[in-house]
Amino acid sequence: MLSLPTYIRLAKEMKTRLIELTSSNTEHALSEASLVIKSGGLVVFPTETVYGLGADATNEEALKKIFVAKGRPSDNPIIVHIANISELSKLTDEVSIIESKLIEKFWPGPLTFIFNKKNFVPAVLSGGLETVAVRMPAHPFAHELLLRAGVPIGAPSANTSGRPSGTTGAHALDDLMGKVDLIIDGGSSEIGVESTVVRVLDKKILILRAGSVTREMIQDSIPESEVDFALDKKDLDASPGTRYRHYAPNARLEIISGDMALRKVELEKEGKKVGIICSNANKDLFSPDEKVFILGDRGDLGEISKNLYQALRYFDAHLVDVVLCESFPEDGLGKAIMDRLKKASNA
């Protein structure tokens, strides 16, 4: 890892400006960031889930720059972020009663809806689909930036395509320095995994991507509906991002539900260098000098998800051949965590 002063120097040379948010410079950061958005540039900004790489969602040329900066396939559509519910009617004519109830309950927050789009929503946003993804972020900086910019902001996660989403300003710098105009560093993302993505079809709610708005939370708020994870290929094809390899560290990742120490010994016998990602429950299996990243308490999945991408990126900087990661139960937020781990492990 580079030290922060080195980052700042490099960022300057590469024409990427970095503003670290403090209690006294929010005003300055907001006016700089909104200016970049309005002038068709790219801004990395914090949200409550992960960092976003944002551009004016009404400006096709600006949106195209996002794909270049990330190395993202052009058929992978982008989530539109809005600050007010009134902006939704500019993007879609069709909001069902179920969607309205979910919006009422979970916006602003980490829930993204796939709506049938209005004709003039740029094709570059929707990846050529007839739909548009929309979310209203809860993070105060993101919210205020949307208000100041005065336009919706199209923003995928702030990372090179295929890598774990950026959950700190340093992650965004690692991946996007020299490729964006401005990075707003607001510290660690509170949630740490991307928003839940849902598609409501008639009375059925399909979860295309698990997140911190869990299946259980959605079911509790709409008891009369069926809530399911999209499983079959047809459903998942409706969310193109799920086709690509994701969240992947450089080393091979294995998810371990059994004895982590035993598996480590086996791999070491084969001459492999092994990294460990585990909760406090397993940390005593390893000595402190070994390459171990501790996610937090197993009982606190919020803490585990917050640290997850940091852990995956950690082992890119500490060369190992294999990373062993503890397995988590797949309900509640555990579903989102395991979903990311499985994607990262399936090379």
Summarize as ranges the residues that interact with ligand TXA (CB under 6 A). 47, 49-50, 52, 76-79, 110, 112, 114, 126, 129, 131-133, 135, 155-157, 194-195, 197, 208-209, 238-242
- Joined together, the tokens standing for residue 275 give 């990294």
| For ligand TXA, the closer CB: 199 or 264 | 199
CB of 184: closest distance to ligand TXA in angstroms?
Answer: 13
Stretch (H or E) spanning 170 = helix 169-176
User: From CA 110, how far away is CA 211, in angstroms rounded?
Assistant: 7
CB of 6: closest distance to ligand TXA in angstroms?
Answer: 26
- Joined together, the tokens standing for residue 175 give 């991946």
Who contacts 21 (Cβ-Cβ below 8 Å, separation ≥6)? 29, 46, 141, 184, 185, 186, 187
What burial letters (b/e) apply to 61-98, b meaning 16+ CB within 10 Å?
ebbebbbebbebeeebbbbbbbbeeebbeebbeebeeb
| For ligand TXA, the closer CB: 122 or 240 | 240
221 binds, among ligand TXA, Mg ion, none (CB under 5 to 8 A by kind): none
Stretch (H or E) spanning 97 = helix 97-106
Binding mask 115-154 for Mg ion (x = CB under 5 A): ----------------------------------------
Residue 157 in the binding site for Mg ion (CB under 5 A): yes
| For ligand TXA, the closer CB: 157 or 214 | 157
CB of 338: closest distance to ligand TXA in angstroms?
Answer: 17
Q: 3-state class of 79 per DSSP? A: strand
Residue nearest to ligand TXA (CB): 241
Number of H helices and E strands in the chain, helices first, is 14, 15
CB of 100: closest distance to ligand TXA in angstroms?
Answer: 19
Residues that bind Mg ion (CB under 5 A): 156-157
